Amino acid sequence: MIDNKKIIPKKLEKGDTIGIIAPSDPVLKKDIEEINNSITLMEKSGFKIELGKNIFSNKLGYSATPEEKAQDINYMFENKNIKAIFCAKGGCNSNSTFDYIDYKKIEENPKIICGFSDSHSILNAITLKTGLITFYGPTFKSLTSWETDYGYKEVIKRFVDCSLELGTKDDEYITIQNGQVEGELIGGNLSLTNNMINGKYKLNFENKILFFEDLGWESEPSMISNYLYNMKQNGVFEKIVGMWIGSYEHETNIALEKIVQDTIGEEYKFPIIKSNNFGHIDKKTVIPIGSMARIDTKKKYKIELIENCVK
- pLDDT of 1 reads 44
What is the domain extent for residue 264? 173-305
In a domain, 140, yes or no: yes
Same domain (yes/no): 155, 177: no
pLDDT per residue rounded down to tens, the chain (311 residues): 445 689 999 999 999 999 999 999 999 999 999 999 999 999 999 999 999 999 999 999 999 999 999 999 999 999 999 999 999 999 999 999 999 999 999 999 999 999 999 998 999 999 999 999 999 999 999 999 988 999 999 999 999 999 999 999 899 999 999 999 999 999 999 999 999 999 999 999 999 999 999 998 889 999 999 999 999 999 999 999 999 999 999 999 999 999 999 998 888 999 999 999 999 999 999 999 999 999 999 999 999 999 999 99
Contact criterion met (CB below 8 Å) for 24 and 63: yes
What pTM was computed for the model?
A: 0.96
Give me the phi and psi of 242, to 5 degrees please: -165, 165
Nearest alpha-carbon partner for 277 in 184, 123, 165, 140: 165
Residue 7 CB burial class (10 angstroms; 0-12, 13-18, ≥19): middle
Same domain (yes/no): 153, 182: no
Go through the chain and tell me how many residues it has: 311
Q: Which long-range contacts (CB under 8 A, 24 or more apart) does 219-224 make?
A: 219/190, 219/191, 219/248, 220/250, 221/250, 221/252, 221/254, 221/259, 223/191, 224/190, 224/248, 224/256, 224/259
- pLDDT of 21 reads 98
Contact criterion met (CB below 8 Å) for 133 and 309: yes
Q: For the chain, what is the largest distance between any 2 Cα atoms, rounded to a whole number of angstroms?
A: 52
In a domain, 8, yes or no: no
Query: Which of 129, 159, 189 is the C-terminal boundary of a domain?
Result: 159
Same domain (yes/no): 47, 107: yes
Same domain (yes/no): 24, 128: yes
Same domain (yes/no): 192, 133: no
In the chain, the number of structural domains is: 2
Same domain (yes/no): 199, 246: yes
- pLDDT of 5 reads 82
The CA–CA distances, whole Å, from 156 to 33, 105, 116, 170, 294 equal: 22, 26, 17, 18, 23
- Specify the CATH number for the domain of residue 144: 3.40.50.10740
